[in-house]
């Protein structure tokens, strides 16, 4: 630690960080299933690693991690460091951060990325308090300067989301960031890819861990818009909270969830957990249906990476049509029930 602190007060020129090489991604899991942001970060990490000509490294922590390890390689990792033990089954800050710190100190990656989820934010913050380095939170754009600076260019909205700030960590390594889900694209799954697997010990006995996970209680209204494959989103054009029931029916028929524009959320028609956009969630579903949403830039940044976008709007010049794959011009109160009926008829 003394050595690390000494480096912290280094002068403002670039120290020699040549011992640090590689891009590391924390693979977040719950009950053995990875959060999709982990695969998205491997996709983006692959681009950064290729630009820097280094390995893409995955860090897997959990119990029963065999499939996650295979998946990490299939999604682009060259090397996987795996800590697998019963006491690591559920996320807890101390045992996870101890393993992560050990791996980071041993492997010395120049960049470490986490999903900007509750777990990713907690773990990255805990690690950053022990390592003499910075942490850029909630990034939406990642890039690197090539050799010799090899700097991570971590960009995120700033000043009430009115500006995009690019944050550099010139003096310390590793460079760390959390990144929003839904912004980056996972690589296609390639089961034929090969990679190295390194086993890491758990480092803490159950008896040493103060926090105990007694039970997971799912919220009554389980809702995770970032993981949804289909989103039917409504805006001010709905005119009130009631018509969201029409959207829910269509979403149910398609096996999806309901999203919303900020105008609908600000009007109190639906909770903020449903808001898509710059100050809401960034989503990347297979299908996004925008209903009565004009297509303001702050909304579009949150959904433009959807695989297929259908927009329903009575204004043929609505900007949402510029990002839509299919445009349905007309009254949503006629179109949405007709679509629901058609989907149900096809399914029955």
Considering beta carbons, is residue 195 or 259 the nearer one to ligand FAD?
259
Q: For 86-107, give the DSSP string.
A: GGGSS--HHHHHHHHHHHHHHH
According to the binding rule CB under 6 A, does residue 237 interact with ligand FAD?
yes
3-state secondary structure of 179: strand
Instruction: Please report where in the chains the tokens 């990679």 appear, as a residue.
Output: 195
Rounded least distance, CB 238 to ligand FAD, Å: 8
Contacts of 235 (CB under 8 A, 6+ apart): 260, 261, 263, 264, 290, 291, 292, 293, 294, 299
Rounded least distance, CB 157 to ligand FAD, Å: 8
Select the residue interacting with ligand FAD from 62, 76, 115, 235 (CB under 6 A).
Answer: 235
295 appears as a binding residue in the annotation: yes
Closest CA to 177 of 124, 99, 102, 108: 124
Select the residue interacting with ligand FAD from 178, 261, 282, 340 (CB under 6 A).
Answer: 261
Rounded least distance, CB 291 to ligand FAD, Å: 7
Select the residue interacting with ligand FAD from 35, 57, 299, 339 (CB under 6 A).
Answer: 299
Considering beta carbons, is residue 73 or 312 the nearer one to ligand FAD?
312
Q: For residues 41 and 44, what is the distance between their CA atoms, to the nearest angstrom? A: 5
Contacts of 131 (CB under 8 A, 6+ apart): 4, 101, 104, 172, 174, 176
Rounded least distance, CB 272 to ligand FAD, Å: 9
Question: Does the bond joining 174 to the residue before it have cis omega, within 30 degrees of 0?
Answer: yes
236 appears as a binding residue in the annotation: yes
Rounded least distance, CB 115 to ligand FAD, Å: 19
Interface of this chain with ligand FAD, residues 124 to 143, rule: CB under 6 A: none
According to the binding rule CB under 6 A, does residue 236 interact with ligand FAD?
yes
Binding-site residues for FAD sit at 236, 261-262, 275-279, 292-299, 313
């Amino acid at each position: 630690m003394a050595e690390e602190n000494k480096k912290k007060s280094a002068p403002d020129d670039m120290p020699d960080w040549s011992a640090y090489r590689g891009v590391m991604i924390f693979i977040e899991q719950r009950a053995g299933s990875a959060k999709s942001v982990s695969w998205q970060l491997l996709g983006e990490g692959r681009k950064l690693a290729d630009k820097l000509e280094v390995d893409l490294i995955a860090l897997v922590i959990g119990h029963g991690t065999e499939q996650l390890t295979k998946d990490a390689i299939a999604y682009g990792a060259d090397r996987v460091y795996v800590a697998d033990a019963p006491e690591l089954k559920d996320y807890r800050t101390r045992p996870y951060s101890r393993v992560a710190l050990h791996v980071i100190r041993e492997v010395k990656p120049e960049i470490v990325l986490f999903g900007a989820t509750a777990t990713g934010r907690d773990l990255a913050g805990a690690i950053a308090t022990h390592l003499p380095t910075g942490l850029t939170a909630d990034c939406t754009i990642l890039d690197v300067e090539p050799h010799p600076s090899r700097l991570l260019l971590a960009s995120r909205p700033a000043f009430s989301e009115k500006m995009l700030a690019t944050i550099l960590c010139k003096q310390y390594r590793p460079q760390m960031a959390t990144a929003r889900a839904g912004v980056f694209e996972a690589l296609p799954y390639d089961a034929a890819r090969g990679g190295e697997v390194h086993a890491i010990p758990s480092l803490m006995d159950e008896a040493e861990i103060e926090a105990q996970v007694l039970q997971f209680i799912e919220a009554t209204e389980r809702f995770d818009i970032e993981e949804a494959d289909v989103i039917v989103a409504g805006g001010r054009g709905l005119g009130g909270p009631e018509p969201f029931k029409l959207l829910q029916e269509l979403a149910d028929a398609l096996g999806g969830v309901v999203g919303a524009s900020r105008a609908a959320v600000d009007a109190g028609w639906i909770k903020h957990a449903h808001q898509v956009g710059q100050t809401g969630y960034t989503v990347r579903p297979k299908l996004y249906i925008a209903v009565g949403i004009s297509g303001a830039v702050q909304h579009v940044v949150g959904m433009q990476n959807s695989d297929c976008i259908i927009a329903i709007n009575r204004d043929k010049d609505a900007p949402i049509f510029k990002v839509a794959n299919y445009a349905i011009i007309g009254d949503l109160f006629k179109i949405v029930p007709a679509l629901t009926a058609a989907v149900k008829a096809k399914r029955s």
